[in-house]
Amino acid sequence: MIFEKRTERIVLAIFFVIALCLPLFLEDNSFFVGKATTVLILAVFVMSLDFLVGRVGLVTLGHALFYGLGGYLFVILTPEYEAVNFWIYALYILAVSALTALVVGVVVLRTSGIYFIMITLAISQMAYYFFFDSLEFGGNDGLFIFMKPETSIFGLSFLNLDNPSHFYYLALLAVLVTLLAIKIILRSRFGRIVEASRLNPERTEALGYNIFAFRLISYVIGSTLAAYAGLLFALQYGYVNPQFMTWEMSGTALVMSILGGLGTIYGAILGAITYEGLQYLFEHMSEDWMLLMGGAIILMVLLLRKGLAGYLEKLLEK
Amino acid sequence: MSTELFFVQLINGIQYGLLLFLIASGLTLVFGVMGILNLAHGSMYMVGAYLVWYFVAVTGSFTASALLSAAIALGLGILIERVLIQRLYNRNHLDQVLLTIGMIFVFNSLQSILWGNDPYGVAVPETLSGSVPFTDNSSYPVYRIFAALVCIGIAAALYFVVSKTRLGMLIRAGESNREMVEALGVNIKSLYTIVFAIGVMLAAVSGIIAAPMRSIVPGMGESVLITCFVVVVIGGMGSIKGAFVGALMVGIISTFAAVLMPTLSNMIIYIFMILVLLVKPQGLFAK
């Protein structure tokens, strides 16, 4: 069983049951289906960050770089007036993202600790200003997607990206695949060495493992998953702009991941839902929702030592 | 670029660098001594600028407003440390990051509630409003020279306090061995409160000094925060000397880049920082 904890199994079971049925209840309300889709996409992004920060021990403040990259690559690499095949192009874009992450990883992984936080921040800021100041990539306005891709597999088409419910299930599938992928990686020999190198790098190195290589591969995996989330987000709204890459975006994802319970992976889903839910609630309660949001974040840090997942585990584990 | 323009830009760069140093010094001091990465540091810069704008509008006196704002910032620093930061000393760094992000939300929101979202400006105080002739047909504003001198003065004072006084000795001792300092009977809790409050005040004072030179706008704290990160990382986290050198480098480079290569000007300091880290992965003056 790859889900070792009781809490994890309960939370995920409840989540997937509700998530699977949600569009049935919201059938007439495409706004809420769209909102729920966004939360799912963010959950993918936050899970990929949680894997890097909580499990590999790479605290990055530049994760949004790859979120934005996924969106930009889609618009740049696809022909403007022809619907491409989603699956083929998604693979293509993920491959390019992985390659980019490999190059960026070789540079940033030369540093560690607080310097790693800062160099990742610097690289994503560079990318932000690169797109912000560029003429060919639309500057601050970004780029629009003219043709949504088609999604047939071997000629069979069962998914229509213009249908909010269909897109919702595509995002839910992404959540499931990301969750399983990270869980399987963590359970494997590779994952155990990665965790060992977070807990005790010297000893892991002394055992003959090349920590740098393990961290680099993990960085590529985490970044590629983030690029997939960004690609989905760009497709959902039909555009990409430099706002995808701001440090606030990276910071918000980090907040979601810590709120959910760092390193628990399923907590990332809880964190994304809670944060987005609170923001939606506060925005409707008051114009000054940021005050409430800030207050809620401060309270949760003070009260929840290990995030929402930690709190639930205290309740549910014997 | 003519020699004259070169020197004007050089002075602009140094003056901007000195201001950056003043903001970054608080960030690096708090990190070096307490190990706290205060993401809300930029918000304190914003608070300083808004407070001085508000008090100038009420009292009309820049000097009185500046002193009053700095005092309020010091009090605010003590309050924040006592009520919030103190509870997180035994927690991991990411909890501190989360808390200070929450504080950014709160301060940005309070700014918008109290003073609205319009941009404001503070008039240069009258005694400092002239310009010094530079060459036959150019001159340099007195206030900018004054601001640079204040920054140098505070830098010198900070250096003196940290390296020559008893408080500075305790600060340095607390940096290298917290338990030992405690065992010697020093109240490390109060020491931390003082250091954090000084850090907040340094940021606010930077905002006060910058107010007559820059526009006071929502979000001004975050943009300055990121630039300060670049400064302290180039210099080496926790090193005040490093912050000084880093700030001057960043100030001069970004000023010249804005003139010489406008398309790259936003990116240049990040490129520079990455180059520095590739050569020295812990900054120029790593401990």
Distances, alpha carbon A311 to alpha carbons A267, A308, B249, in Å: 11, 5, 47
Distances, alpha carbon B54 to alpha carbons B44, B108, B126, in Å: 15, 16, 18
pLDDT band at A245 (very low <50, low <70, confident <90, very high): very high
The per-residue b/e assignment along B84-108, b for 16 or more CB within 10 angstroms, e otherwise, is bbeebeeeeebbbbbbbbbbbbbbb
| pLDDT value for A244 | 92
Nearest to B264 by CA among A168, A267, A48, A130: A130
C-alpha angle A249/A252/A258, rounded to 5°? 145
Nearest to B130 by CA among B146, B143, B115, B148: B143
Q: What is the pLDDT of residues A66-119, one digit of tens each?
A: 999 999 999 988 887 777 888 889 999 999 999 999 999 999 998 888 889 889
pLDDT band at A318 (very low <50, low <70, confident <90, very high): low
**Residues of chain A contacting residue B106, judged by C-beta atoms under 8 Å apart:** 290-291, 294-295, 298
Residue A295 scores a pLDDT above 90: yes
Task: For residue B113, give the chain A residue with the closest CA.
Answer: A288
**Residues of chain A contacting residue B102, judged by C-beta atoms under 8 Å apart:** 294-298, 301
Instruction: State which of B66-75, B91-100, B124-133 shows the largest mean pLDDT.
Output: B66-75
Q: Looking at chain A from residue 37 to 66, which residues have their Cβ under 8 Å from any Cβ of chain B?
A: 53, 59
Give the residue from A108, A291, A300, A306 with the most B CB atoms within 10 Å of its CB, the best one to mutate.
Answer: A291
| pLDDT value for B52 | 95
Question: Which residue type does A67 have?
Answer: Y
Do A2 and A265 meet the contact criterion of CB atoms below 8 Å apart?
no
**Residues of chain B contacting residue A247, judged by C-beta atoms under 8 Å apart:** 226
| pLDDT value for B287 | 62
- Closest to B277 (Cβ–Cβ): which among A119, A262, A301? A119
Average pLDDT for residues A153-166, to the nearest whole number? 78
Contact with chain B for residue A187, Cβ under 8 A = no
Q: Are A119 and B274 a contacting pair at CB < 8 A?
A: yes
Give the residue from B232, B233, B250 with the most A CB atoms within 10 Å of its CB, the best one to mutate.
Answer: B233
The Cα–Cα gap between A170 and A148 comes to 14
Q: Are A130 and B277 a contacting pair at CB < 8 A?
A: no
| Nearest chain B Cα distance for residue A272, angstroms | 15
| Nearest chain B Cα distance for residue A318, angstroms | 25
What are the φ and ψ backbone dihedral angles of A143, each rounded to 5 degrees?
A: -125, 150
Do A67 and A225 meet the contact criterion of CB atoms below 8 Å apart?
no
Please state, for a pLDDT cut of 70, what percent of chain A lies above it: 99
DSSP A57-102: ----S-THHHHHHHHHHHHHHS-TTSPPBHHHHHHHHHHHHHHHHH
Contact with chain B for residue A234, Cβ under 8 A = no
- Interface confidence, given as ipTM, is 0.87
| Nearest chain A Cα distance for residue B54, angstroms | 21
Q: What is the pLDDT of residues B214-262, one digit of tens each?
A: 889 998 998 899 899 999 999 988 888 899 999 999 999 999 998 888 8
**Residues of chain B contacting residue A291, judged by C-beta atoms under 8 Å apart:** 105-106, 109-110, 113
| Nearest chain B Cα distance for residue A110, angstroms | 7
Give the residue from B43, B46, B105 with the most A CB atoms within 10 Å of its CB, the best one to mutate.
Answer: B105
| pLDDT value for A80 | 76
pLDDT band at B139 (very low <50, low <70, confident <90, very high): confident
Distances, alpha carbon B114 to alpha carbons A150, B40, B50, B70, B109, in Å: 50, 18, 10, 19, 9
DSSP B127: G
Q: What is the pLDDT of residues B194-212, one digit of tens each?
A: 999 999 999 999 999 999 9
Neighbours of A98 (CB within 10 A): 17
CB-count exposure of residue B277 (10 Å: 0-12, 13-18, 19+): buried
Mean pLDDT across chain A, nearest whole number?
90
CB-count exposure of residue B240 (10 Å: 0-12, 13-18, 19+): buried
A150 in helix, strand or coil? strand
Write out the H or E segment, with its range, that includes residue B11.
Answer: helix B3-34
Average pLDDT for residues A174-197, to the nearest whole number? 94
Distances, alpha carbon B5 to alpha carbons B140, B258, B262, B266, in Å: 12, 13, 16, 21
The Cα–Cα gap between B271 and B250 comes to 11
Do A255 and A304 meet the contact criterion of CB atoms below 8 Å apart?
no
**Residues of chain A contacting residue B94, judged by C-beta atoms under 8 Å apart:** 53, 59, 254, 258, 262
Q: Are A129 and B97 a contacting pair at CB < 8 A?
A: no
The per-residue b/e assignment along A144-183, b for 16 or more CB within 10 angstroms, e otherwise, is ebeebbebeeeeeeebebeebbebbbbbbebbeebbeebb
Contact with chain B for residue A278, Cβ under 8 A = no
Give the residue from B31, B92, B101 with the most A CB atoms within 10 Å of its CB, the best one to mutate.
Answer: B101
Write out the H or E segment, with its range, that includes residue A239.
Answer: strand A239-240
- Closest to A247 (Cβ–Cβ): which among B31, B226, B263? B226
A29 in helix, strand or coil? coil
**Residues of chain A contacting residue B109, judged by C-beta atoms under 8 Å apart:** 288, 290-291, 294
CB-count exposure of residue A221 (10 Å: 0-12, 13-18, 19+): buried
